[in-house]
């Protein structure tokens, strides 16, 4: 055993010496590094192991060695800092010898690197949207039959958008119309990445917080979710009301900034143009289109959200292999062929259809008319000309090319797991029988 230990010790010592020699050769000719050859961590560790090597015991360097390593480490750190300082700092200049022209030239030559801008300091970039295609897309076949079939399915299926959508505030005729328009805008600003139920609850929280006590609330027609009240409220108050919606901290800041812009530039009213609405923080094309339709009653474009984007692509309305990548691309291509009278109703129609039948995950294709080979629908006034009103039988289906792709496809098989006690009883019974 002693011979084995001795040979092993010699092998390790030779290996350590070889590594130290290679490292020293690499460091030759580097100027300052000649004075701190033993300053690197790897070299110090190997030097310590070599000088205090013993089998069965931990390395215990002497106090003198420890002092050397410590001083070397200090030299290394100081030299590294001095090098870093030399690279980053400009040479000292005697300011008393500089003229004004020299100072200006020096300022231009040594202008400091601008700091990275934070979200608060970044300048607002102008939002650029494409309003129409260079060459309009032809209308897909049977799109009107598909549209009417979805209307038929929506008749007996109430959806959250029907009662909690962005059109709901405008139906409260008891309050001032300007306040209704502002509530509509607030509702849309909170709606992104958020379900209708959560958005509706957040808006109601804001209205309740801003409302004064009953003894001071004498006018039933007065609304308190207004631009001045949002301006006077703290950001913490707004956050506490909307903290269930997606990105609520950012949206609280958007609400405060929007209220300031409306008060300063629009006398407390909301803009009456797509450009003005898109100029508000946190407002995109979808919100602008829906605000124009619901708050101002102007049908200028289609409000495309995730439901409209998903369903129109599932229906194959843009062609095989030509699916749109974003809701904004979907809007531009839809507007190139969809008649203008459908711009307004298509959003709540497809949103409700997406909330009840054509859901994002596991769509209920077995309940959808568009997945059947033939079906009947009521064809009302304004149909395909000579078709007229009445019941229309549709064949040559299914009209949805995505039918049963990722859907339920029928009832799910139930998996029943035995209880832990039953499993133990079965195991005991088998052991007894053996």
How many other CB atoms sit within 10 Å of the CB of residue 155?
8
How many other CB atoms sit within 10 Å of the CB of residue 18?
10
Q: What is the 3-state secondary structure (H, E, C) of the chain?
A: CHHHHHHHHHHHHHHHHHHHHHHHHHHCCCHHHHHHHHHCHHHHHHHHHHHCCCCCCCCCCCHHHHHHHHHHHHHHHHHHHHHHHHHHCCCCCCHHHCCHHHHHHHHHHCCCCCCCCCCCCCCCCCCCCCCCCCCCCCCCCCHHHHHHHHHHHHHCCCCHHHHHCCCHHHHCCCCCHHHHHHHHHHHHHHHCCCCHHHHHHHHHHHHHHHCCCCCCCCCCCCCCCCHHHHHHCCHHHHHHHHCCCCCHHHHHHHHHHHHHHHHHHCCCCCCCCHHHHHCCCCCCHHHHHHHHHHCCCCCCCCCCCHHHHHHHHHCCCCCCCCCCCCHHHHHHHHHCCCCHHHCCCHHHHHHHHHHHCCCCCCCCHHHCHHHCCCEEEEECCCCCHHHCCEEEEECCCCCCCCCCCCCCCCCCCCCCCCCHHHHHHHHHHHHHHC
In Å, what is the CA distance from 349 to each residue of 50, 89, 177? 80, 65, 25
Q: Active-site residue 286, yes or no?
A: yes
In angstroms, rounded to a whole number, what is the distance separating the alpha carbons of residues 358 and 349?
A: 12
Residue 385, Ramachandran bin (φ over 0: left; ψ between -120 and 50: alpha; else beta): left
In angstroms, rounded to a whole number, what is the distance separating the alpha carbons of residues 345 and 171?
A: 16
Yes or no: say if 337 and 139 are a contact pair by the CB < 8 Å rule. yes
Of 47, 251, 286, 392, the active-site residue reads 286
Q: Which of 297, 358, 285 is nearest to 327 (CA)?
A: 285
In angstroms, rounded to a whole number, what is the distance separating the alpha carbons of residues 300 and 290?
A: 9
Active site residues: 286
């Amino acid at each position: 055993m002693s011979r084995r230990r001795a040979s092993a010790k010699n092998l390790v010592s030779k290996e350590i010496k070889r590594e130290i020699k290679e490292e020293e050769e690499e460091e030759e000719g580097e100027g300052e590094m000649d004075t701190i050859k033993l300053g690197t961590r790897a070299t110090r560790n190997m030097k310590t192991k070599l000088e205090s090597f013993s089998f069965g015991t931990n390395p215990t360097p002497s106090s003198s060695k420890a002092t050397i390593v410590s001083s070397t480490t200090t030299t290394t750190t100081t030299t590294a800092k001095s090098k870093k300082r030399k690279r980053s700092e400009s040479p000292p200049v005697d300011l008393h010898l500089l003229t004004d022209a020299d100072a200006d030239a020096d300022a231009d030559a040594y202008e400091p690197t601008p700091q990275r801008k934070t979200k608060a300091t970044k300048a607002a970039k102008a939002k650029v949207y494409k309003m129409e295609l260079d060459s309009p897309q032809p209308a897909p076949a049977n799109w009107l039959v598909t549209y009417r079939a979805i209307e038929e399915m929506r008749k007996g299926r109430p959806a959250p958008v029907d009662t909690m959508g962005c059109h709901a505030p405008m139906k409260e005729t008891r309050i001032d119309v300007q306040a209704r328009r502002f509530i509509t805008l607030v509702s849309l600003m909170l709606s992104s990445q958020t379900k209708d139920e959560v958005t509706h609850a957040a808006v109601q929280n804001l209205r309740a917080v801003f409302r004064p006590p009953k003894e001071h609330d004498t006018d039933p027609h007065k609304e308190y979710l207004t631009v001045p009240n949002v301006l006077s409220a703290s950001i913490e108050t707004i956050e506490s009301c909307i903290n269930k919606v997606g990105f609520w901290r950012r949206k609280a800041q958007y609400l405060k900034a929007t209220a300031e812009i409306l008060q300063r530039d629009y006398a407390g009213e909301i803009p009456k143009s797509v450009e003005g609405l898109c100029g508000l923080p946190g407002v995109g094309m979808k919100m602008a289109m829906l605000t124009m339709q619901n708050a101002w009653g102007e049908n200028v474009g289609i409000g495309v959200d995730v439901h409209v984007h998903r369903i129109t692509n599932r229906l194959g309305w843009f062609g095989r292999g030509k699916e749109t990548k974003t809701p904004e691309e979907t809007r531009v291509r839809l507007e190139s062929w969809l008649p203008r009278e459908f711009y307004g109703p298509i959003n709540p129609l497809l949103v409700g259809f997406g909330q009840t039948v054509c859901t994002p995950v596991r769509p209920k294709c077995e309940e959808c008319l568009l997945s059947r080979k033939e079906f009947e629908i009521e064809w009302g006034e304004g149909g395909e000309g000579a078709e007229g009103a009445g019941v229309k039988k549709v064949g040559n289906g299914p009209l949805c090319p995505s039918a049963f792709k990722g859907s339920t496809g029928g009832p799910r098989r139930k998996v029943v797991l035995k209880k832990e006690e039953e499993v133990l009883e079965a195991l005991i019974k088998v052991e007894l029988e053996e």
